[in-house]
Chains A and B, each alone.
Chain A
Amino acid sequence: MRGLTPGYLIRRLGMFVLTVWLGATLIFIIPRLAPSDPVAAMVSRLLAQSGSVEGSAEMIEAWRARFGLDAPPLIQYLRYMRNMLTFNLGYSLTSFPSEVEDMVVRALPWTLGVLSIATVVSFVLGNTVGALLAWRRTPGLVRTLLPLSFTFTAIPFFMLGILLIYIFAFGLDWFPVSGAYGRALTHNWNWEFVKSVIHHGTLPALSIVVTSMGFWGLGMRGMMITTDGEDYMILAQAKGLHPRRIFWLYGVRNALLPQFTALALNLGLIAGGSVLVEYIFAYPGMGYLLYQGIVNTDYTLIQGIVFIMIMGTALGVLMIDLLYPFIDPRITYETR
């Protein structure tokens, strides 16, 4: 069986639906298991702000009705699912007239831009470094220097982000502290704007690249060592193939396959980590929007963003899964 078989396609699509459903259900059920009542909490916050609010009990009732919280749980759940699946994410509680959907659409490109570039760069760099480390022909000097690039592997993205801000933005003043583009600039696809976007995006992207590179590097090193022991490698050498050819087409080509699986499995973690990076850099993407939702206790905003994040990650995984049969033609996925 080669390539994209219908059975494989159906199974992967099923996984996608299951993941989205599980995630959406989790963020619906667990908050409702908690003893606290968001509406009551919101009204009591209003009370604390303005001293007294007349008829706060009626207000709680009215709001509960407004958000459909007085309906039976099952109805609430079905309603919620329908809304989420039609991307009807509702209105933001704190910046009322604006819809969550619009806010998400505005933030999404920033996150996608930085995140995809950073992930691709760290994946490519990390795998190259890892492969070179495990390769006998790599010059000794390179092999002793390369592990230095793994120094920050164990550190979360955002911590390196803070260090980068302190050193390069605050101390040296080479990069801006926050934001995605200069304040004086407007959305215009001219060189000035693009330059500013790159300038602002460098540190956030760098904090993801530097910290996740080592993960790919170490994984790749392990895979290359395993691959190196395979019979076809010995055969390739015995045939007298060019070492570079053996390295790329026999070694890296095969060792890379599990790395793609690892990429699919880690997309969720990367997405989660980027939330904190955006928050640290006040980068106007999904993560920063999410933080604003938290600060303003804007429940619809939080729920909407997280649903989109679950959906986005699941889509990313699905994409990798669907590409996989083309990268690795042996795959049949009957047993794993």
Chain B
Amino acid sequence: MATTTVESTVAPRPRLSRWESPWLNPKLLSGLAMVLAVGLMGIVGSQFWDATLARVASAPLNLPPPWGPGVEVTVEEGAQETAGGAKDAGALTGTNPLKQESQESTTGQTGRDARGFGVPSWEHPLGTESNGRDMLAVLLVGAPRSLRVGLIAAGIGMGVGILLGFTAGFLGGWVDTVIRTIADSVVTIPSLAVLIVISAFVRQISVENMGLLLALFAWPQPTRLIRSQVLSMREQGYVKMAHLSGVPTFDIMFKEMMPNLLPYLAASLTGNVSGAILAATGLEVLGLGPTRIPTLGMTIFYAIRAAAILRGMWWWWGIPIAALIVIFTGLFLMTVGLDEIANPRLRGIQA
């Protein structure tokens, strides 16, 4: 890795005042704010919004959000037929079905517009979908859940990674060879594909078990990173000094080296959280996630299955995607910010 010469480049560092701490990196902070906003949304939101509206058939069907560009695409359609027979994702096959469909009249349904959408109201500020779920409630319930899956998986992966990385870096020899070889090969396995097999067999899965499952592929990255950092740090003056002074190995690891590893560990953690959420969402989008509770990925799955894209129901898939984009972008900014803290040279040229 290229980021091993941190100490030498910042060696004669003047004492920084509290507000000049490198940890006050703007990218890190704005990313953190985005992630926290999504995380807190669930806790704060459930205080003034009824989370039970996320259940099926708890709200009227197909209401667009009252604020949106509701009539973006004026295609007429008998939406009720399509809504009921939730087609397979195969509904995407072929050319755009709406544009071929004759202009059926959809009269006879009170309060429905030409596309079969209800009259938007502020009772459902983000609209509702075809299964009668309120999108705001889905968002409040689903978004924190996605974060939780990611944190569980990345947390476990980090723990295992710290353990194995330090072991490999310190002990060296055949232990190192074994750990490094296994980590190197697990990294290249297409994890999503393997996870698909597993969840296709298991089917019913809880959020916690999903996190555990994802941790299976979250440990090699931190292991590799910590191992390489430990190897390069072991040769540095302050570690050798500590060794010579008879500081116990355990103390060297956690008191001397850990503080220097912190930005790397944090960057690796945020990267892993993002990776785990991506994998979890991927499984959910394929219909392999927890089915009893709404998650952002499952919402996208239902939307695709009901051909929401081609029915112009942008809020159905757009809202979970927007939430996920905030999460992913936030985590990404945090990772970039932490990288800059770990490797001060990157701060030099502002992109």
Contacts and interface: CB of A to CB of B under 8 A. Distances in A.
Interface of A: 15, 18-19, 22-23, 26-27, 30-31, 34, 36, 38, 41, 133-134, 147, 150, 153-156, 158-159, 162-163, 165-166, 169-171, 173, 176-179, 183, 218, 221-223, 225-226, 229, 258, 264-265, 267-269, 271-273, 275-276, 279-282, 290-291, 293-295, 297, 299, 302-303, 305-306, 309-310, 313-314, 317
Contacts of A272: 190-193, 279, 282
20 contacts: A19-B185, A26-B198, A27-B194, A31-B201, A31-B202, A36-B201, A38-B201, A41-B203, A154-B329, A156-B278, A158-B282, A158-B285, A159-B324, A177-B310, A183-B94, A218-B336, A225-B345, A225-B346, A310-B190, A314-B188
B164 to A, nearest CB: 16
A291 B286 contact: yes
Contacts of B325: 154-155, 159
A280 B185 contact: no
A264 B287 CA distance: 29
B345 A229 contact: yes
A266 to B, nearest CB: 9
B194 A299 contact: no
B73 A163 contact: no
Contacts of A170: 73, 96, 309-310, 312
B122 to A, nearest CB: 25
Contacts of B96: 169-170, 173, 177
B182 to A, nearest CB: 8
Contacts of B345: 225-226, 229
Given A276-B282, A313-B189, 14 more contacts: A15-B184, A26-B194, A30-B197, A179-B94, A265-B188, A272-B192, A273-B282, A275-B192, A275-B196, A276-B192, A281-B92, A302-B196, A305-B193, A306-B197
Interface in B294-316: 300, 304, 309-310, 312, 314
Given A177-B96, A282-B92, A294-B288, A156 B194 contact: no
Contacts, number: 199
A156 B186 CA distance: 21
B283 to A, nearest CB: 10
Contacts of B286: 275-276, 279, 291, 294
Contact of B190 (A153, A269, A280, A302): A269
Contact of B196 (A147, A178, A268, A306): A306
Nearest to B75: A170
Q: Is the interface of A mostly helix, strand, loop or mixed?
A: helix
A243 to B, nearest CB: 17
A276 B285 contact: yes
The 9 A-B residue pairs with the shortest CB-CB distance in the complex, in nearest-first order: A272-B192, A154-B332, A31-B201, A19-B185, A268-B190, A154-B328, A178-B92, A27-B197, A271-B190
B181 A271 contact: no
